[in-house]
Amino acid sequence: MRTKLLASFLFISTLLSCGPDKESTPVPTPEPVKTFDFSFRYDTYLKAKDYELILSDKDGKVLLDTLLAVNSNHSLSVKSEDTKHDLTTILLDSTNNICVMETFLQVNPDKWHLNFSPTTSSTSFKHEKAEIIYTSVPYDRNFHFRTKYRFGSGYTASWPGNNFVIKDFDRAVPTDLAYILLPSHGLYLFTELTSSQTTADFSEAGKTEKRKYKKPSNVTDYKTNLVGFTKAGDPDSRLDLYWSNFYPSEEYDLQFPPTGIEEFDLGVSYEDADGYFHNYHYSGKQIPTEIDFSTTSDFTVSKSEFDDFMISFTTDKPDIYNSHWVAIDPSHTVNWIVYGSSDVTSYRLKTFLEGLKSKKFAGLDLPQLELLTVSTLKFKNHTYQEYLNIKANASLSSYNKVEQSRLIMKTFKIF
């Protein structure tokens, strides 16, 4: 009996001890490593097969340092949770001892296409020497003549009787467009050029429109420059319409054709009383009747050393600024442009460059650069990143894509 009771007790104890298993502590799943992926391209005419691209974080830690072939597309990736980084490119032309550097502070460079090359869009035009005879033309020694082919070697002009003959100019083939302005008479005429010999009746000329702006007092070297595009967005349809250097007038700042142009690009510049250069740019279908000029600069540089740069801004802050640093000696020429938003007011470039540990500068003495210029830009409708996306897009023109801008520049060194 005792044996049965003991067996029953053990059986019940075993049942009671066989409860559900306790939940085990879950092993945390590691978070996937985030990456920052971007595509990039750098075109240049310099004699260099590659360039160095360095991506670093805001504290200067290098995340990527690689040599890439010029004039080629590249897909790149770094381990980073950030979407904005400091991007530095270094291009070294050892044949001509030229080094070109650019640093963009806190940007997203995805799909950027930098281009350190002269524009060649219109040089592909086939062209020939041509002559045009304008009949019934009043004399104007300050006449202005242009065609869409902007790479010509000049021309000769004469006024036989009531005619005006311009010859030996270059016209694009198969067709081109000639523009003539007689500023003293306020008359203009467009003429299509379909052959090397053209006759145009100037009695069909139209009257120009004029603009006079209220410029600030105590400014010097006041200039206006106007170009037009007969087809909006087409750089090959460009015509130079007016430049006040050639036709100075107290009556007006510029005059232009009110018809025949789909898009205008206007630049007005001067130097203020403190020596800062100003340029106001407008692009669009209409030419403004008023311009909001500034009498003073929007920035002041308090420290301009290579390893101690400091800048301050007025309440009318720019959207972007750049500092241009140079080193010129018999052995090499170095140009380094640093771009930043107005949130960045100081940096130490020598320390920054040493921290990058550039492959291009391995075994070389780091250049001691001097400040050449500082420029600011303020836009009507674009942020710092948006403007750089335009600037770094080969299919866009930053000049006419940006509808309105103000540039102010100070020169610190003259060579």
Task: Between 362 and 180, name the one with better pLDDT.
Answer: 180
- pLDDT given at position 398: 55
**Residue appearing with tokens 């006759």:** 199
More confident residue, 51 or 395: 51
Element housing 352 (H / E): helix 349-356
Is residue 228 a contact partner of residue 265, using CB atoms and an 8 Å limit?
yes
Q: How does pLDDT run across 114-123, given as a tens digit for each residue?
A: 987 654 444 4
CA distance 225 to 246: 10
**CA 401 → CA 182, 281, 335, 382, 393, distances in Å?**
30, 11, 27, 10, 11
| Exposure letters 91-110 (e unless 16+ CB within 10 A, then b) | bbbeeeebbbbbbbbbbbbe
Residue 18 has pLDDT above 50, yes or no: no
Among 336, 313, 339, CA closest to 324: 336
Which residues on adjacent β-strands are paired with residue 301? 311
Res. 393 pLDDT band, cuts 50 70 90: confident
Residue 113 has pLDDT above 90, yes or no: yes
Could you tell me the residue ranges of all domains in the chain? 34-117+299-398, 122-207, 214-284
Domain 122-207 grouped into CATH 2.60.40:
yes
- Evaluate if residue 55 carries a pLDDT over 50: yes
Q: Quick one: average pLDDT of 391-397? A: 77
Confidence check: pLDDT of 17 > 50: no
Count the helices and strands in the chain (H runs, E runs). Answer: 4, 28
Question: What pLDDT digit, counting tens, does each position of 195-246 carry?
Answer: 999 999 999 999 999 999 999 889 999 999 999 999 998 888 999 999 998 8
How much of the chain exceeds pLDDT 70, in percent?
Answer: 89
| 3 state DSSP class of 6 | helix
pLDDT of residue 400: 56
Read off the tokens for 378. 């303020």
Place of tokens 């000029």: 293
Is the pLDDT confidence value at 396 over 80? no
Instruction: Flag whether pLDDT at 94 surpasses 90.
Output: no
**Tokens 């600069």 found at:** 297
Peptide bond into 183 cis (omega under 30): no
User: In this structure, which amino acid lies at residue 229?
Assistant: F
Which pLDDT value is given to residue 6?
Answer: 41
Residue 203: helix, strand or coil by DSSP?
helix
Does residue 2 surpass a pLDDT of 90?
A: no
pTM of the model: 0.87
Local structure of residue 32 (DSSP, 8 states): P
Q: Using an 8 Å Cβ cutoff, are 166 and 188 in contact?
A: no
Residues 6+ apart with CB under 8 A from 413: 326, 370, 371, 372
How far, in Å, CA of 15 to CA of 7, rounded?
Answer: 12
Contact 178, 147 (CB under 8 A): yes
Supply 314's token pair: 């007025």
